[in-house]
Structure 1
Amino acid sequence: MAVAADARVALVAGATGLVGREILARLLADKTYTAVHCVGRRKPDSVHPSLVVHLTDSLTEFSAPPVDDVFIALGTTIKVAGSQQAFRAVDFDAVVALATSARAAGATRLGIVSAMGADTRSPVFYNRVKGEMEDAVSQLGYDSVVFARPSVLAGDREALAQATRPGEQLALVAMRLFKPLIPHNYRVVAAADVAAALVNTVKAGQPGRRVLLSGELQFS
């Protein structure tokens, strides 16, 4: 069977997380992608003929296969990681290492789930690391780089065996009570909407660097 001229191969990291799971599902349902590589410590729940799973305990040592589009939805919190150093190892070191490896393997488009407030000059450590990550991967030579900066995420963490986050629960209550008064960039955003916006924008392949603020990720 002939392969379409615009057929592409994707790589996904963080596919067992809240947004990464939705990214993987969209890619597997998209006939543009003839193969979807998934890398991480655990197997995703998805089963599909075009899915190739790579299990590794160290993303910084992973050698990416030949791919076209890269989607990275890695992320933790300082509380879960246990220290600022451990947090940085995931949200900076692993992300930059994987993006670097994929670029060396031929990838030209990159989409990353970052965070609202990402800024290298931020006094907040979390936001500063996210900003440093964005700057680092922007220098790797990709034709197109897209950062999604969601605010508070909505999704079923219990289904992923993840602890619920009090901040997310409070934000959901506030949304139900005061949604019309909350600016779009600060509203709770569904993980599925973040995934849809990121995948669609990466597929569009607009040259250069683009940041999708949380208000642009809202579909519902």
Structure 2
Amino acid sequence: MIKNILLLGGTGLVGSEVLKQLAAEKNFERVFVWLRSALETPVDSRIQLQTVTWEDFQAGKVLFPKVDAVICCLGTTIKKAGSQDKFKEVDFEYPLLAAKLAKQNGAQSFLVVTALGSDANSAIFYNRVKGELEGELKQIGFPLLGIFRPSLLLGDRKEFRFGEKVGEYLSQILPFSWLGLGKYAPVQAKTVAKAMLKTLFQQVPSALPKTLVLENEDIHKIGS
């Protein structure tokens, strides 16, 4: 049984869905949720919120909790981050540091959201950073590493992202138009969250490092 979980990115589109769905789960004892800003305390007493600045985290001022698993839903955009360097800090450096500390502290499972098209050799900066992160995570040697590569994410995001809003609108008025898109079909954040939790609670960490790469089509199937 998984006793303790650390959730990173709990206020984001996928992370907030993970948090909601965890409240309905019985297969854990406690979830630590690291947040940059305060969040209303969940009803579930097993969920512990902690305000953490990444500056303090990087400086080693934050005690890393003893957990069995980490669910990493960290992510931003270059526009919001302000530069490519800041984007890489959030989408590459923070998840990688968290993964290394998690492994040092005995975590058996690390699940992370990257993106469709992640490729360390991609000419597209966004995809390249995601691919570089995946490559580094594979080298850490988790008994279970779950990599989730969703396409366009749909859901109730606090911040406005034009592409996602267009995708969400089209999915409502033309629900069957996505069928021909195959692996590119947009996916609901709650579907990604469900696929992550199913994977976490149903997969048993192996004696040897095991990596599961779930493409967008896999996420649709598992999370439906």
Length-normalised TM-score, structure 2: 0.88
Q: Deviation of residue 215 (structure 1)?
A: 1.2
| Residue 7 (structure 2) aligned to one of 5, 12, 30 | 12
| Residue 188 (structure 1) aligned to one of 186, 189, 201 | 186
Does structure 2 conserve the Cα–Cα contact (< 8 Å) formed by 1:18 and 1:156? yes
Q: Deviation of residue 183 (structure 1)?
A: 2.4
Question: Partners of 2:199 and 2:15 in 1: how far apart?
Answer: 16
Does structure 1 conserve the Cα–Cα contact (< 8 Å) formed by 2:118 and 2:128? yes
Q: Deviation of residue 166 (structure 1)?
A: 1.2
Question: Partners of 2:91 and 2:33 in 1: how far apart?
Answer: 18
Question: Partners of 1:205 and 1:217 in 2: how far apart?
Answer: 19
Q: Which residue of 2 aligns with 1:100?
A: 100
Q: Could you tell which deviates more after superposition, 182-191 or 40-49?
A: 40-49
Q: Deviation of residue 206 (structure 1)?
A: 5.4
Q: Deviation of residue 173 (structure 1)?
A: 4.1
Q: Which residue of 1 aligns with 2:167?
A: 171
**SS in structure 2 at match of 1:183:** helix
Q: Deviations over 1:45-97 (max 9, x none)?
A: 32321112221111434432110011000000111101000000000000101
Length-normalised TM-score, structure 1: 0.89
Q: Deviation of residue 180 (structure 1)?
A: 5.0
Q: Which residue of 1 aligns with 2:43?
A: 47
Question: Partners of 1:180 and 1:65 in 2: how far apart?
Answer: 41
Q: Which residue of 2 aligns with 1:3?
A: none
4+ aligned runs moved over 6 Å, structure 1: none
Q: Which residue of 1 aligns with 2:150?
A: 150
| Residue 23 (structure 1) aligned to one of 18, 23, 28 | 18
Letter in 1 for 2:9: G
Q: Deviations over 1:160-198 (max 9, x none)?
A: 3x1x21111222344443625532311110000000001
Question: Partners of 1:57 and 1:140 in 2: how far apart?
Answer: 24
1:33 partnered with 2:28? yes
Question: Partners of 2:69 and 2:116 in 1: how far apart?
Answer: 23
Does structure 2 conserve the Cα–Cα contact (< 8 Å) formed by 1:111 and 1:199? no
Question: Partners of 2:28 and 2:179 in 1: how far apart?
Answer: 40
Q: CA RMSD in A?
A: 1.7
Q: Deviations over 1:15-35 (max 9, x none)?
A: 011100111222232111101
Q: Could you tell which deviates more after superposition, 167-176 or 81-90?
A: 167-176
Q: Which residue of 2 aligns with 1:205?
A: 204
| Shift in CA distance, 180/120, structure 1 to aligned 2, threshold 3 Å | closer
**SS in structure 1 at match of 2:29:** strand
Q: Give the gaps of 5 or more residues in structure 2.
A: none
Does structure 2 conserve the Cα–Cα contact (< 8 Å) formed by 1:14 and 1:39? yes
How many residue pairs end up in the alignment?
Answer: 211
| Shift in CA distance, 130/7, structure 1 to aligned 2, threshold 3 Å | closer
Does structure 1 conserve the Cα–Cα contact (< 8 Å) formed by 2:2 and 2:69? no
| Shift in CA distance, 7/166, structure 1 to aligned 2, threshold 3 Å | closer
Letter in 2 for 1:217: I
Question: Partners of 2:190 and 2:219 in 1: how far apart?
Answer: 10
Alignment of 1:65-80 (within 5 A): 65-80=65-80
Letter in 1 for 2:88: R
Does structure 2 conserve the Cα–Cα contact (< 8 Å) formed by 1:16 and 1:43? no
Q: Deviation of residue 114 (structure 1)?
A: 0.7
Q: Deviation of residue 44 (structure 1)?
A: 3.5
